[in-house]
Structure 1
Amino acid sequence: MPLDEDKYPAETGRRRFVKGVVGSAALSSIGVGGAAAVDATTDAAGEGGGTTEFVAVENTDGPAPRGMPIIPITIEGGELRGVWPEYDPEAGVAIARDFGGSGIDYSSAWFQYCGMQTAAGLYPQVEQDNTLRSSPGSYAWQSDVEAGAPLTVDMFSDYQEWGNGIGTAGLGKPASANWRSEGDVKTIPVQLIRSVEIEKMANGEGKYSSLPSDVQQFISAATEEGFIAWMNKCTHFCCVPGFKTLAGSANFGAANRIYCQCHQSVYNPFSPVKKQFVALPRPPRTE
């Protein structure tokens, strides 16, 4: 399996932290210069870096080196939530081994790229709200939902017909959200879709019967009622892409795909793949 490298250093100068979770002094070595060193590190001494296998929405075009990591979803009381596994002090990450019987280990290291390894919500020991909360702006329908309000199943009742004039109507209804980002901390941006295609994928129907068995089993466990979610950070230069957010995406064959307008990277939310990359280690946590 090819190893995908993270091309972008950790963010510098624009971080926000929870007091007592991440200290600025602890991050001083993870600037642009330090990032080159940690990017090559494969043994992070308990800080969660190193070679990581993950499941992603596939990158199909453009300069992005790999897909964006999928966030397993659960529904509780009608609210959509991202799954956060238990902390394993020996591994140094939050991890759910053999997730859903797939043979794939789902861990917090999946999201340690683009400087997100400094996000308080991605520290495995930190308690944060796993509810997917509305982040209006990308889709007109979300303007009627208060920013920060939980996204609920009933908001997607028209998912089999929904369209906004971009690409094919009825392919799925998307939303933008934040996850594990409550308080004055770095935002973890998420995008999700509810789609009949995801229902078929979870059941291994039709063209999805050809998915590798471990990936199909993971998707079956990681999706619910047709919902799929991913951390919405382009793996090229860390921009925030969008599914059906830009009419011009049709010019790049991406009207029914996730499109990053910065450098024209394209991702297919209906094509999950298992890949590897070098997760950037987290800076030490200070109390």
Structure 2
Amino acid sequence: MSDKYPDDSGRRRFVKGVVGGATLAGVGATGATAINSATSSSGAGGGSTQAMAIENIAGPAPRGMPQIPIEIDDEGYLKGIWPEVKTIEQNGVKIKVAELEDYKGSGVTYTSEWFQYCGVESYAGIQPEYESDNYFISGSNPGYTWQSEAYSEGDRLHVDDFSDYKDWGNGVGKSGLGKGATGRWRSEDAEDTIPIQVVRSEKIEEAAKDDPWLKASTQDGFMAWLNKCTHFCCVPKYKTDGSAKFNAEDDVYCQCHQSVYDPFSIVQTLFVARPRPQ
């Protein structure tokens, strides 16, 4: 797999801006058309949305997977930030939205609409007022052996369990790029599970020093995203078995249809978020 952009294009930076709404909207045009037609029904929120996402670099996925800003509590547990809930008027109707403008001075508007795709818009946990402590939770079938050894189902992810992130490699590709974990978010007492992926990496630490968004949305090298492939909504994984034959051993690879994402390339992506069912 080769990079989508030439080395001298300047596109392979850690954080990249929108090329232009019309240009990005044209990427994966068939998917965008399908989403537009699917959002014509009534519902809350939705519409044209710019999200910060880990970049899709290969395969059929039309765009990256949206990032989840994180924080670490006083005891070292990881949690995703949920935007402030407020009431707005949309098309003459007052609705509840979860949105934070200029998130921590980054210039980015962070909204729950980032996650309104692949049916997630209908999940209880994506509703603005869903009650949750927002911790990242390890599931009953975690994606990595180390998680099975460190956690039981329902345990919260903790920074101490990533202490070897500068050496870890999962036996796939290069070691030392960063340590991954899988889990769920805002899904306790809910029928549907919101899958997430967390990575801790020195590359994230370094990039956050000079980038306002990464400085605001990551902490101590930890970064997270909603782990739903934007192609057919499968659940990819960072440093997963079988990815090497697609040159994706150091990336996030979706085994369903071979979409590949670069967790260390954060881009601003434009798409049509689906409205939440009313």
SS, match of residue 74 in structure 1: strand
Counterpart of 2:199?
193
Cα shift at 1:6: 8.3
Q: State the distance in 2 between where 1:52 and 1:218 align.
A: 17
Counterparts of 1:37-52 in structure 2, within 5 Å, are 37-39=37-39, 47-52=44-49
Q: State the distance in 2 between where 1:79 and 1:177 align.
A: 13
- Matched residues, percent identical? 50
Aligned: 1:125 with 2:122: no
Counterpart of 1:207?
none
- Which stretches in structure 2 are left out of the alignment for 5+ residues? 1-19, 90-95
Aligned: 1:88 with 2:93: no
Q: Is the 8 A contact 2:32 2:271 kept in 1?
A: no
CA deviation vs aligned residue, 1:185-214 (integer Å, no higher than 9, x gap): 21000001001011011113xxxxxxxxxx
Q: State the distance in 2 between where 1:250 and 1:272 align.
A: 22
- Taking structure 2 as the reference length, the TM-score comes to 0.83
Q: State the distance in 1 between where 2:200 and 2:166 align.
A: 9
Aligned: 1:256 with 2:278: no
Q: 1:8 to 1:103 in 2, by over 3 A?
A: closer
SS, match of residue 114 in structure 2: helix
- Taking structure 1 as the reference length, the TM-score comes to 0.81
Q: 1:179 to 1:6 in 2, by over 3 A?
A: farther
Aligned: 1:140 with 2:145: yes
Cα shift at 1:8: 9.2
Matched to 2:107, the amino acid is: G
Counterpart of 1:283?
277
Counterpart of 1:163?
169
SS, match of residue 192 in structure 1: strand
Q: State the distance in 2 between where 1:67 and 1:179 align.
A: 19
Counterpart of 1:209?
none
SS, match of residue 7 in structure 1: helix
Aligned: 1:75 with 2:72: yes
Q: State the distance in 1 between where 2:142 and 2:66 align.
A: 22
Q: State the distance in 1 between where 2:37 and 2:239 align.
A: 37
Matched to 2:276, the amino acid is: R
Q: State the distance in 2 between where 1:201 and 1:148 align.
A: 31
Counterparts of 1:95-106 in structure 2, within 5 Å, are 95-106=99-110
Q: 1:36 to 1:55 in 2, by over 3 A?
A: closer
Q: Is the 8 A contact 1:172 1:193 kept in 2?
A: yes
- Which stretches in structure 1 are left out of the alignment for 5+ residues? 10-31, 205-215
SS, match of residue 121 in structure 1: helix
Q: State the distance in 2 between where 1:103 and 1:109 align.
A: 17
